[in-house]
Amino acid sequence: MAITSSVAQTPIARKISTNAVIRTVLAQGPISRADIAKFTGLSKQTISDVVRDLETDGWLKPVGKTDGRPGRTAITYELNASAGLAISIDLGGTKIAAAIGDLLGNIIAETKVPTDARGGIHLVDQFQAVVNDLTEMAGVEMAKVRMVVLGTPGVLDPATGHIHVAPNIAGIEDIDLRQLLTDRLGIPAIIENDVNLAAEGERWKGHGVDVGNFAFIALGTGTGMGIIANGSLLRGGRGAAGEISYLPIGGDPFDPGGFHLGTFESAVGSVAMARRYVGFGGQEGASVADLFVAFEKGDHSAVAAVEETARLTALAIAAVGATLDPQLVIMGGSIGARPELVAAIRRYLPRCTPYPTRIEISRFGNRAALIGGMGIAVAHMHEELFGVDLGEASTNQTCIRGGTHSL
């Protein structure tokens, strides 16, 4: 029997109905209104009203008709993914990568520019320019962009959004980046540690989809780790969980000079790798890219540099395994995702721990944080547009029960 009480007519009840319809369309679409009613248990009248409103507002679109069934054909609907857009930005020490995507997380335009070395407020100028470029590339209006997610190095205070300990990005610790970005773009901004975003990207569409406990380790200009523990991102008491740059590995941890970059990062970051290669007899002034070119040619200095970096990284992974017991470690970053390095790490790991963790290379390479940012944006857009605040639902004492309902 249909619910007709005044409680059932409240706005929160309609939001619950809308949420149910959108979730069903996402999971089953393209789908007819009659089939939505079957999956949700809502009345056909409620489904007709909700679908009509969603179509009028541009969130659903008709895509065809049912066939192969007795009786009349019916219009089928799917989410109009282009009705809401989001920007994902990955801020690095040397480059800024950015993408614009739709309500399903499909990336429709992408760009990359060098990071402004002046840092600080100049980065906000860069972000605005990048967003303008992306909307132009995608051929969309800024009015359709509903939020931006920014991944940045450093320790993020989850309460204030303030960034600490980001030595590779000048001036970023001195500004309220979240507020400045929100004000400049006129849309909500979410700031997150870049390696945390990379871990979220792997959980969304990568190796971590069916893994409840894993770590994402990034090696590149800097080092970092994102941790998914029991299905959730682990932040720690100060938001600094995963700051493996400061592991006492690869140098003297009591040397205060290592307090800036961290002892481990000082030993395995891109600058350290290039320095190690030159020290072993490699070409003076060589970059990490030069090192790997030389490695492919069998250059002994390059091989030695990669092997030593792999040995130190294996020690760090052994420490992570002993403390977190992850099912999986995913390697990413411009250095960490190199197959040559990962192959060497896999050789060293069983030599320093009796329980070597499985290691995989990120499915997204340098784009892992970008993908993670898009996943976070999609989740927030769906919540903002179609979600239900459970606290509000509880206050209104409204819920969907079995049977058919008229909300």
Does the predicted TM-score (pTM) go above 0.75?
yes
What gap in Å lies between CA 277 and CA 201, rounded to an integer? 32
Contacts 24+ apart (CB under 8 A), 363-366: 363/202, 363/205, 363/206, 363/207, 364/198, 364/201, 364/202, 364/206, 364/332, 365/332, 365/337, 366/97, 366/220, 366/332, 366/333, 366/334, 366/337
Per-residue pLDDT of the chain (407 residues; tens, 9 = 90+): 333 333 344 678 888 889 899 989 988 879 999 999 999 999 999 999 999 999 999 999 999 887 655 667 889 999 999 999 999 999 988 899 999 999 999 999 999 999 999 988 999 999 999 999 999 999 999 999 999 999 998 887 767 777 877 777 888 888 888 999 999 999 999 999 999 999 999 999 999 999 999 999 999 988 999 999 999 999 988 888 999 999 999 999 999 888 888 999 999 999 999 999 999 999 999 999 999 999 999 999 999 999 999 999 999 999 999 999 999 999 999 999 999 999 999 999 999 999 999 999 999 988 999 999 999 999 999 888 887 443 443 333 333 333 333 33
Task: Give the E-state strand segments of 198-300 in sequence order.
Answer: 214-219, 223-229, 232-233
Beta bridge partners of residue 330, listed in sequence order: 216, 360
Name the helix (H) or strand (E) containing 77.
strand 75-79
Are 86 and 101 spatial neighbours (Cβ–Cβ below 8 Å)? yes
What gap in Å lies between CA 376 and CA 340, rounded to an integer? 31
Q: Is 259 exposed, middle or buried (0-12, 13-18, 19+ CB in 10 A)?
A: exposed
Are 8 and 43 spatial neighbours (Cβ–Cβ below 8 Å)? no
Cα four-point dihedral sign 226, 232, 235, 237: negative
Complete edge-to-edge strand list for the sheet that includes strand 31-32 = 31-32, 75-79, 60-65
**Which of left, alpha, beta for 81 (phi over 0: left; psi -120 to 50: alpha)?**
alpha
For residue 350, give the DSSP letter: G
Distances (CA, A) of 18 to 43, 50, 226, 391: 13, 6, 34, 17
Tokens of 266: 């000082």
